[in-house]
Amino acid sequence: MPLNTSRSNLVLIGMPGSGKSTVGVLLAKQLGLGFIDTDLLIQEEAGRTLQDIVDGDGYQALRRIEEQVLLRLDVQRQVISTGGSAVYSEPAMSHLKADGLVVFLDIPLEVVVERIGDYSARGISRRPDQSLEQLFWERFELYSQAADVAVNCVGKSQEDVCDDISAMMLQMPATR
């Protein structure tokens, strides 16, 4: 199924635990697109896990590597699952938006906490003095600003979220 948009990629943004990777794989299958998980690209480039980067070099190092990886992406017809901190880089988000429809997978803080549990081992890019709640609200604003559309994921399975996005894609006016 072709994307009914002038942009060939679908870019998923949202908090860790929002389902970007799982929903991304389902969407790619459903829409006949490829799938890219940028967290995996970051780990591949750095040769270590996201948590190792944060522990060894700090959260800003992770954001710099993430920005470089995102700016180098030159793909078409892909579902791109971004890391939760991708929205901190305006150049990277502009690059992704140039050929991608940006979809914010919106989940409440309680669901983030429930899904990710001990976030200290998750490789989350946050200031050392920043609580998960503070990070959530800081990022919520950035996700809301960067997104072309937001999908409320409350009470929905990942399959339901995928179906909602697919249905939304069909309703968009075709521009190609």
Residue 176 lies in a domain: no
Least confident of 39-48, 106-115, 126-135: 126-135
Q: Average pLDDT over the chain, rounded to whole?
A: 89
Please, what sign has the CA dihedral across residues 61, 67, 69, 72? negative
Calpha distance 165→105 (Å, rounded) = 10
Q: What range defines the domain where residue 143 resides?
A: 9-171
Residue 1 lies in a domain: no
Quick one: which of 4, 50, 49, 40 has its CA closest to 20? 40
Residue 3 lies in a domain: no
Q: What percent of the chain has pLDDT over 70?
A: 90
Q: Which band of pLDDT confidence, cut at 50, 70 and 90, is reported for residue 175?
A: very low
CA 73 to each of CA 48, 67, 107, 163, 175: distance values in angstroms, whole numbers, following the listed order: 20, 10, 27, 26, 23
Residue 156 lies in a domain: yes
The predicted pLDDT at position 174 comes to: 55
Residue 36 lies in a domain: yes
The predicted pLDDT at position 10 comes to: 95
Residue 106 lies in a domain: yes
- What's the total number of domains in the chain? 1
The predicted pLDDT at position 130 comes to: 84
The predicted pLDDT at position 123 comes to: 62
Quick one: which of 122, 117, 109 has its CA closest to 153? 109
Residue 4 lies in a domain: no
Domain at 152, CATH number: 3.40.50.300
The predicted pLDDT at position 121 comes to: 56
Q: Are the beta carbons of 5 and 96 closer than 8 angstroms?
A: no
> pTM for this structure?
0.91
Give the tens place of pLDDT for each residue, 69-87: 999 999 999 999 999 899 9
Residue 2 lies in a domain: no
The predicted pLDDT at position 101 comes to: 94
End-to-end Cα distance, the chain: 13
